Amino acid sequence: MDISELETPALVLDRARLDRNLRRMRERLAQKGVRLRPHVKTAKSIDVVRRALEGQFGGITVSTLKEAEQFFRHGITDILYAVGVAPGKLDHVARLRKAGADVTVLLDSVDAARAVVARGAEAGVELPALIEVDSDGHRAGVQPGDPALVEIGRALCAGRGARLRGVMTHAGDSYRCGSVDAIRAMAEQERAAAVLCAEDLRRAGLPCEVVSVGSTPTATYAEDLSGVTEVRAGVYMFFDLVMAGLGVCSLDDIALSVLATVIGHQPEKGWILTDAGWMALSGDRGTARQRVDQGYGLVCDVEGRPLEDLLVIDSNQEHGIIADRHGRRVDVSRFPVGAQLRILPNHACATAAQHAHYHVVAQGTAIEAVWERFGGW
């Protein structure tokens, strides 16, 4: 089957690019002597994740307990749930652990630690936890040097219902870096914060076997990972326009695209209308903060080759509006009704989340497989 036979919009995955991206990250971190724990929140597909785990120790990072459930059903047991755990989800975590899944939770407060200890004791199961470290002011976590870190650690070690495994940080602010040098500096800031907190726990006589860091930009450019035991990254599998704008990848590395069909024109405006609006592309505008704004996505021909200066400049629920990025007139006759185009996404996670399947191509437009993906919580 060829993608020209697909009903659009449809999600297309270039397997050759995917495999190249996976291999590059795997080899880079192996050279640094640390484990790669792939984040599966973007992929949400066992077919993709099995490829990502080739040659790895077998652990994954998830952002939802649904992801934990789905991948555990496929035999993956070492799972880090890398979102601060809500007390109401601890019963779910306990059920997974009783079933044999080695799920680790994340927290950053004494109250959360006490809730984990209490619920684990009530359920008769040990709930391992990492303490989240705030390495960049981006989101959650304990500041390096804050005495609360040791308090949290002691709270986790105070009862039979929990176990302190270590620390984790995410350099989310790396997505706002203006240069590769800035990403390198952020990677060192991330590493130093996590290692400092690990040392503080150990000095207090508390265990800290895991020192976990990660984001795709910092994983790509970190020069020193001493003191780190594992690196988490996810969007490196597919990449996207935000990553390209940061200098983390090239356009030729982006493995995901949305196949769209031309459904009309507004010649006086230079517009080409397609059937891929924000329900297919997502409404993410992550490149708007970067030097090059890619609108709602960069337009490619059906083979996946970028068409110079054509962007999705606006989107409605089921309509995408394509025009020249500089406002110049477009010869719309080059794109007749029924013609197919592929749109590279700003944010692979958000775009993939709109679809139930990957239509896998290796080269050109021939479909070699259809891989299922899931969504929701």
Here the tokens at position 123 are: 């359920």
**Among 146, 158, 77, 76, which residue's Cα sits nearest to residue 115?**
158
Q: Residue 239: which residues within 8 A CB-CB, separation 6 or more?
A: 21, 216, 248, 249, 253, 254, 255, 256, 348
With respect to residue 186, please indicate whether it lies within any of the assigned structural domains: yes
Q: Is the sign of the CA dihedral 359, 355, 81, 71 positive or negative?
A: negative
Here the tokens at position 368 are: 């070699």
Judge if 284 and 150 occupy the same domain.
Answer: no
With respect to residue 242, please indicate whether it lies within any of the assigned structural domains: no
- Residue-wise pLDDT tens for the chain (377 aa)? 999 999 999 999 999 999 999 999 999 999 999 999 999 999 999 999 999 999 999 999 999 999 999 999 999 999 999 999 999 999 999 999 999 999 999 999 999 999 999 999 999 999 999 999 999 998 999 999 999 999 999 999 998 999 999 999 999 999 999 999 999 999 999 999 999 999 999 999 999 999 999 999 999 999 999 999 999 999 999 999 999 999 999 999 999 999 999 999 999 999 999 999 999 999 999 999 999 999 999 999 999 999 989 999 999 999 999 999 999 999 999 999 999 999 999 999 999 999 999 999 987 899 999 999 999 99
Strand order of the β-sheet with 230-233 is 35-38, 230-233, 210-213, 162-169, 127-133, 102-107, 78-84, 60-62
In angstroms, the CA 344 to CA 311 distance is 10
Q: Containing domain of residue 280, as a range?
A: 3-10+255-372
- Our count of domains for the chain comes to 2
Judge if 98 and 163 occupy the same domain.
Answer: yes
* CATH number of the structural domain spanning residue 359: 2.40.37.20
Whole-number CA gyration radius for the chain = 22
Core vs surface per residue 327-345: b (16+ CB within 10 A) or e: eeebebeebeeeebbbbbb
pTM: 0.95
With respect to residue 338, please indicate whether it lies within any of the assigned structural domains: yes
With respect to residue 151, please indicate whether it lies within any of the assigned structural domains: yes
Judge if 158 and 192 occupy the same domain.
Answer: yes
Q: How do the residues of the chain divide into helix, strand and coil, expressed in percent and rounded to 5?
A: 35, 25, 35
Please report the pLDDT score of residue 64 as a whole number: 98
Judge if 265 and 226 occupy the same domain.
Answer: no
In angstroms, the CA 314 to CA 330 distance is 16
